[in-house]
Amino acid sequence: MNLYPLIRPILFGLDPEQAHRLAFSALDLCTAAHCASLVAGPPIADPVRLLGLDFPNRVGLAAGADKDAQHLRALSQVGFGFIEAGTVTPIGQPGNPKPRMFRLPEAEAIINRLGFNNKGLESFVSAVREARAGNALRGPVGQTILGLNLGKNANTPIESASDDYVAGLTASYPLADYVTINISSPNTSGLRSLQGADGLRPLLARLRDARTELCQIHRRNVPLLVKIAPDLDAAQIAEMAELLPEFGIDGVIATNTTIAREAVKHLGHGLEAGGLSGAPVREASTRVIRLLRTKLPSAMPIIGVGGILTGADAVEKIKAGANLVQVYSGLIYRGPALVSECAQAIRDHFKLA
């Protein structure tokens, strides 16, 4: 029984950020009352081993939904194979001025310029530690894999960005199943410049050295992924694909939101500043995945994200070369049952392959 179609008009009548908070509060209550199934689809087990980790299925939650890791127990009950919490910055920050999030229902899209609003690393780590201690990540399809997504503070100079990422990696390392370095949000000034070789090479070298030390201290190797933009051209993607394996990066998340507006410029709010997500980014994201797959080592996993609103969209990412997928904006338009739909479609795809 999927109640989300009845709930969505209420949520869409609210400010997007208010609706986000209300939706999570409702999901938390449903979880506490053991009735998350009222909004989630049937749990789909489709285990796969990647990054040295056992994923219960191939569908995850993208970063940005649970920035402060406050809802891990509830999210685990929806049937995700993995959840990526964050983006977190070393010091808490309010993000950009409001309004900063806009729905474009005609295009099944969202524009946001949130700007890494979060409570900071100390609060984030505390919340993850509490979730781990309470076995909150045990879901209906098994133990949910947890990724932690790291960013830099808005007031940190770009030349010092590696300090923020190393601080995040150091604090999150003992608690993460994997860690993602977010260098592709369009909502922190200068951040995307780190995707170019001049910015990326020294950052990756610093992270490689930090992880080597952390691995020795904690006696475990935590996979390190990098999240990239859908707006990179073929030459930039080829350059990225060469650099990431060189510095021991374990996987790529493709992609973040886009700054392109061609598909929505005629719509209300279509020219708002920020990152565009949802259906209009689907083709760009898939293009990046397809190019990456031809350039990266075959064993290097790609997590495909961007414009997944149906099971067919999820399978499209897999066919393009992704090993796992993530959803976020699709949940806003389709609700939590999208997780089950995508997991089932991917499982059926591999059975037929």
pLDDT grade, residue 353 (50/70/90)? confident
First-last CA distance in the chain: 31
Phi and psi torsions of 31, nearest 5°: -65, -45
Per the structure block, which two tokens stand in for 161? 């960005």
Per the structure block, which two tokens stand in for 181? 């370095």
Topology (CATH level 3) of domain 4-352: TIM Barrel (3.20.20)
Contact 271, 113 (CB under 8 A): no
Distance CA 159, CA 194 (A): 9
Distance CA 16, CA 114 (A): 11
Number of H helices and number of E strands within the chain? Answer: 11, 17
Amino acid in position 248: G
Q: Per-residue pLDDT tens for 6-40?
A: 889 999 999 999 999 999 999 999 899 988 877 88
Residue 234 has, within 13 A of its CA and on its CB side, a CA count of 3
- pLDDT of 94 above 90: yes
Say which residues have a Cβ less than 8 Å from residue 250's Cβ, sequence separation at least 6.
Answer: 51, 178, 223, 224, 225, 300, 301
Contact 242, 75 (CB under 8 A): no
Amino acid in position 117: N
Q: What is the mean pLDDT of residues 163-187?
A: 96
Contact 325, 304 (CB under 8 A): yes
Contact 285, 292 (CB under 8 A): no
Contact 184, 203 (CB under 8 A): no
Q: Per-residue pLDDT tens for 274-315?
A: 999 999 999 999 999 999 999 999 999 999 999 999 999 999
Among 1-15, 162-176, 233-247, 317-331, which is the least confidently predicted range?
A: 1-15
pLDDT grade, residue 163 (50/70/90)? very high
What single string gives the DSSP state of each residue in 137-205? TEETTEEPEEEEEE---TTS-GGGHHHHHHHHHHHHTTT-SEEEEE---TTSTTGGGGGSHHHHHHHHH
Catalytic residues: 185
Task: For the chain, give every domain's residue range.
Answer: 4-352
- pLDDT of 1 above 70: no
pLDDT > 70: what percent of the chain? 100
Q: Per-residue pLDDT tens for 64-82?
A: 999 999 999 999 999 999 9
Position 3 scores a pLDDT of 81
Position 352 scores a pLDDT of 87
Mean per-residue pLDDT over the chain, rounded: 95
Contact 162, 151 (CB under 8 A): no
- pLDDT of 2 above 80: no
Q: Per-residue pLDDT tens for 191-222?
A: 898 988 899 999 999 999 999 999 999 999 99
Residue 277 buriedness (CB in 10 A; 0-12 / 13-18 / 19+): buried
